[in-house]
């Protein structure tokens, strides 16, 4: 893209309602040439634009081998995301991107993959899991550990059930504020580490969720012999440009929009949990 600020019109072709305030919009870029040249990696994001309202950074959760359609899972929490969530198929959006560094899914080929997610913000991890399941034979065992606060926060129930049934795959769910209907583990997600065997030499860990989950969880994994260089975290900061210029997404020496949002843990370890960083 010559001008990284240029906005490319796109049309919503399908709207998938994931939960009360979570929507996936499948969009198609209008310009044929732009569409054909658009390539992305799992974990990268687009700046998604709504006419007259503004832009917001949203990760692309669809398969990178099918760039004709781009899925963006949006949680309606702010001015722009609420307006975008209200859109319907046929409505127009704008796309700038793709930006950032995605998941190390090439590097993970042939290895066991442990995916640790917490809370509602696991859309980028869902993209990575779906990517692996479409190429299941290329990866070793897959363990998905997901924690929510209350059972009500558990999204993608059907997907978790689907993944659970897959070969050589474990899915562990936990809630730290369960109700009577909850039939899985009780506690926070890091407690699930005790429930699985992890081959520390063969595994790669992908984490997405609150930073406190990473800060408390990673030392436990490292004590079990997993090196920090085999642990990847997807981080979140305010982003306005996507190209490391607007300054908002800084974390220590990094611009998470261009150096991240997926970062190898050893690189961000000194900065995670530092107040005001």
Partner 1 sequence: MAVPGHSVALPRAELQRLLDALSAKGYRLVGPTLRDGSIVWETIQHVSDLPIGWRDHQEPGRYRLEQTSSNEIFGVVHGPQSLKPFTFAPREPLVQIERSRDGFTARPTLPHSEKVAVIGARACDLAGLIIQDRIFLKDIHRDPYYAARREGLFVIAVNCTRALSTCFCASMETGPRTKSGFDLALTEIDDQLLIEAESEAGVDLLSALSLSPATHEVIGEAAARVDACARNQVRRVDRTGLPQALYAAHEHPRWDDVAVRCLACANCTMVCPTCFCHKVEETPDLSHQHTAHARLWDSCFTEEHGYIHGKNIRQTTKDRYRMWLTHKLASWIDQFGTSGCVGCGRCITWCPVGIDVTEELPALLRPGEQQPATSSQ
Q: Which residues bind partner 1 (CB under 8 A)?
A: 2-9, 11, 30, 51-55, 75, 77-78, 81, 92, 94, 210-212, 215, 236-238, 240-241, 243-248, 250, 252-253, 255, 258, 270, 273-277
- Tell me how far, at minimum, the Cβ of 158 lies from partner 1, in Å: 26
Residue 125 three-state SS: helix
| CB nearer to partner 1: pick between 2 and 158 | 2
Nearer to partner 1, 38 or 131 (CB): 38
The DSSP code sequence of 11-73 is EEEEEEEEETTEEEEEEEESSHHHHHH----TT-EEEEEETTTEEEEEEB-S-TT-TTSEEEE
Of 159 and 258, nearer to partner 1 (C-beta) is 258
> Cα 236 vs. chain centroid, distance in angstroms?
10
Partner residues linked to 72 by β-bridges: 25, 60
Tell me how far, at minimum, the Cβ of 191 lies from partner 1, in Å: 18
Which of residues 27 and 231 has its CB atom nearest to partner 1 in the complex? 27
Residue among 72 and 111 whose Cβ is closer to partner 1: 72
The residue among 230 and 241 lying less far from partner 1, judged by its C-beta, is 241
Q: At its nearest, how many Å lie between partner 1 and the CB of residue 213?
A: 9
Least distance (Å) from partner 1 to the CB of residue 274?
A: 6
Q: Is residue 228 classed as helix, strand or coil in its secondary structure?
A: helix
- Using the minimum distance from each CB to partner 1, give the nearer residue, 21 or 191: 21
Q: Are 185 and 195 in contact (CB under 8 A)?
A: yes
Which neighbouring-strand residues pair with 101? Answer: 261
Residues paired with residue 142 on neighbouring β-strands, in sequence order: 113, 169
Q: Please report how close the Cβ of residue 6 comes to partner 1 at its closest, in angstroms.
A: 5
How many C-beta atoms lie closer than 10 Å to residue 203's C-beta?
22
CB of 91 to partner 1, least distance (A): 8
Q: Please, what is the minimum distance in Å from the beta carbon of residue 167 to partner 1? A: 37
Determine the Cα–Cα distance for residues 122 and 119; give it in Å rounded to an integer. 7
Q: Do 171 and 163 touch, CB atoms closer than 8 A? A: yes
Considering only CA atoms, which of 184, 126, 124 is closest in space to residue 150? 184
């Amino acid at each position: 893209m010559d001008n990284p600020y240029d906005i490319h019109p796109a049309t919503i072709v399908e709207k998938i309602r994931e939960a009360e305030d979570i929507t996936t919009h499948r969009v198609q870029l209008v310009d044929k040439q732009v569409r054909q040249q658009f390539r992305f990696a799992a974990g990268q994001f687009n700046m998604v634009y709504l006419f007259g309202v503004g832009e917001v950074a949203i990760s692309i959760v669809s398969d990178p081998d099918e760039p004709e359609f781009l899925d963006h899972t949006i949680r309606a929490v702010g001015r722009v995301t609420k307006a975008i969530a209200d859109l319907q198929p046929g409505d127009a959006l704008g796309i700038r991107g793709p930006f950032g560094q995605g998941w190390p899914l090439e590097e993970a080929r042939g290895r066991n993959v442990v995916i640790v997610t917490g809370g509602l913000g696991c859309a980028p991890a869902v993209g990575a899991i779906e990517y692996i399941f479409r190429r299941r034979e290329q990866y070793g065992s897959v363990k998905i550990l997901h924690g929510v606060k209350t059972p009500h926060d558990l999204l993608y129930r059907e997907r978790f059930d689907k993944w659970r049934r897959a070969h050589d795959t474990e899915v562990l769910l936990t809630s730290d504020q369960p109700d009577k209907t909850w039939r899985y583990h009780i506690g926070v997600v890091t407690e699930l580490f005790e429930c699985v065997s992890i081959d520390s030499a063969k595994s790669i860990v992908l984490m997405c969720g609150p930073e406190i989950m990473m800060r408390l969880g990673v030392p436990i994994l490292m004590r079990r012999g997993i090196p920090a260089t085999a642990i990847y975290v997807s981080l979140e900061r305010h982003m306005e440009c996507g190209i490391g210029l607007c300054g908002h997404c800084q974390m220590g020496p990094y611009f998470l929009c261009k150096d991240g949002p997926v970062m190898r843990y050893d690189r961000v370890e000194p900065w995670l949990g530092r107040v005001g960083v």
